[in-house]
Amino acid sequence: MGIPYLTKHLLPHAETVFLGGDVEVVIDGPSLVYHIHRRLLGWMDPNCDILDYQPSCDEISRGVGNFLLELTRLRVKIHKICFDGALPIPKRKVRLARIEKSRHRLTLARRNLPLPATSRYRDVLSTEPGQVWCHRGLPRGRRGLAENPFMVSAVCEDLQHRWSRDAIQKEINPDITCLGESEYPWADITVMMPGEADVECARVSKLTGCAVLTDDSDLLLHDLGSSGAVLFLDSVHSPTRVWDPIEPQIQGLRICPHDLSRRLGITDIRRFGFELTKDPHLRFADAIRRSKTDSTETSSGYYDFLREYQHSTDQELSCRSKQLPPMDPRVSELYWQYAVPNTYCSDDSLHVYLGILNEDPGRRCAWEQGRAYRRLGYSALNLSFKSQFKTISEFVRRGGRIVADQIELDETSIASDMDLLRQRLKQVQEIFGSGGESFWFFFALYEIYETSNTVPSGEQLESFLSSGYLKGGTDWADIHLLAQIQAILYSLRMLQQLLHVAALNDCNLSLLDELPPLHIMMSRQRLVQSFGNTEVLRHMVSQLLIAYNT
């Protein structure tokens, strides 16, 4: 979360730089995703429906693509785009605090956000360069919304597997002359680290002297060497506030910790950060004065403070991670708890942080859906490591709290559970056919109707799948049903990846390989688009109701 007020104190001492051919960067991937999310949120139609308040995974991914394409066009060299693959044990409190903050936002949204009497379905954002590079303030009602819980995973996946030259040209910008010859221009520079992204960003910055493009002020406290710097994403914009495609200009604020320490007359900017951790309300002059005293450097607390910023990338693990199959950040984090338990696992307990879904907080958590599939994946991974773990703690919402839900592992039932999944897929295919995206959305609905006591009527479901609403106006029931669908599909995706990582049985590896990518699975717009044929939809809904005698 960063040190309170660190950026506020130091940003006035930053230098303004224009991004061009002499600038080199390494990008903090999650920070970039959240930055694009905020930028696009400012361009939303203020009258749009609550279901459409958030930019979709697809819109954010295209926004990130536009951002990277424009940097390349300006001849900014991008060394790497780094994503978190695991967080060390000391960062768990920070993670829980962030999840709790999202839960609180969801509760406030449920209480305070008005639901329109008539729903208004918004158009898909074009995510043009002007929306990415020109900042607009957020309407008051949108500042407290919980973020899309799948957007970082979706963007990381797309950078590696979606954005080919053809896809970039068709979906982002027809002019791709600035890109190299690589078929997937961003795949080779996108890395999921066996650890924190900021550690690798700091290493690359120190090695090359480039700037870390981030909004995480903690990067100022890492060892960036004599030339490394931090370039703040939130400050990066078009100086004219209007995008000029003919002569584009992009500027931002940069701080080189080594140079700033010298200008402020202190030996190390980390001394300043340490003083703020002791007293966040210190005036700037007082913090500088205390940073100059010898007592700071000899303090045992100071050495404990420094330890957090002295991690280095384990090159052996980094090479090992490149040999692994593609993994979602949450799957990656679980894998590294097994692989490097001393760093990522404590108290003989495994942890998975599922995040807060945009759901009705007054109802049972939507993550209850898909739990059996996640458990199956966890058990397969546990068996592949020949581990003795009996449970995994899933951190999820339960009522108004975040709790560690204990998932019992059972290696003895893996084969029978896989057979049940295979039978379920065959059963759903026989009823609904196997026609791409719509099949998986109906598979999720099939699960919901089997496990839930309260389900939509046939008329309501037909309305939801054709328009996005169960009834004429938006209700929290619409939001919760969408969250349940997302929970099941994401759980299937976790299972698919865990089966590939565990590699226990070749016949199981391709079972879920037809799952659509996240930017499709998590999209309400794509759900509605996939059921465009009214007669086919009516038939599929009818078959679902017959299957469950609803």
Domain limits, the chain: 6-307
Closest CA to 172 of 158, 190, 189, 192: 158
Looking at residue 359, the DSSP 8-state letter turns out to be: S
Distance CA 298, CA 329 (A): 38
DSSP one-letter string for 220-262: GGS--TTT-EEEEGGG-B-TTSS--SSS---EEEEE-HHHHHH
74: Cβ contacts below 8 Å, ≥ 6 apart: 19, 20, 21, 248, 250
pLDDT on residue 119: 64
Residue linked to tokens 């546990």: 382
Distance CA 330, CA 317 (A): 17
Strand partners, 25: 78, 211
pLDDT on residue 345: 86
Question: Residue 218: how many CB atoms within 10 A of its CB?
Answer: 18
pLDDT on residue 510: 87
Closest CA to 354 of 326, 330, 389, 378: 330
Q: Regarding the domain with residue range 6-307, which homologous superfamily does it belong to in the CATH classification?
A: 5'-nuclease (3.40.50.1010)
pLDDT on residue 321: 81
Distance CA 546, CA 550 (A): 7
Pairing of strands 211-214, 229-232: parallel
Backbone phi and psi for residue 237, each to the nearest 5 degrees, phi listed first: -165, 170
pTM above 0.85, yes or no: yes
pLDDT on residue 474: 80
Copy the structure tokens of residue 283: 């005036």
In what order do the strands lie in the sheet containing 391-398? 350-353, 391-398, 401-408
Do the Cβ atoms of 232 and 219 come closer than 8 Å?
A: no
In what order do the strands lie in the sheet containing 24-28? 15-18, 251-255, 229-232, 211-214, 24-28, 77-83, 190-192
Per-residue pLDDT in tens (0 to 9) along the chain, 550 residues: 578 899 999 999 999 999 998 899 999 999 999 999 999 988 887 777 777 778 999 999 999 999 999 999 999 999 999 999 998 888 888 899 999 999 999 998 888 877 765 666 677 888 888 889 988 877 666 666 678 999 999 999 999 999 999 999 999 999 999 998 999 999 999 999 988 999 999 999 999 999 999 999 999 999 999 999 999 999 999 988 888 888 889 999 999 999 999 999 999 999 999 999 999 999 999 999 999 987 766 677 888 888 888 777 677 787 788 888 889 999 999 999 999 888 888 777 899 999 999 999 999 999 999 999 999 999 999 999 987 799 999 999 999 999 999 999 999 999 999 999 999 999 999 888 776 888 999 999 999 999 888 899 999 999 999 888 898 778 899 999 999 999 999 999 999 999 999 987 777 888 999 999 999 999 988 898 888 777 888 988 998 888 876 5
Pairing of strands 15-18, 77-83: unpaired
Whole-angstrom CA distances from 113 to 7, 141, 186, 472, 524 are: 31, 7, 38, 18, 20
pLDDT on residue 120: 65
Distance CA 178, CA 143 (A): 36
Do the Cβ atoms of 144 and 105 come closer than 8 Å?
A: yes
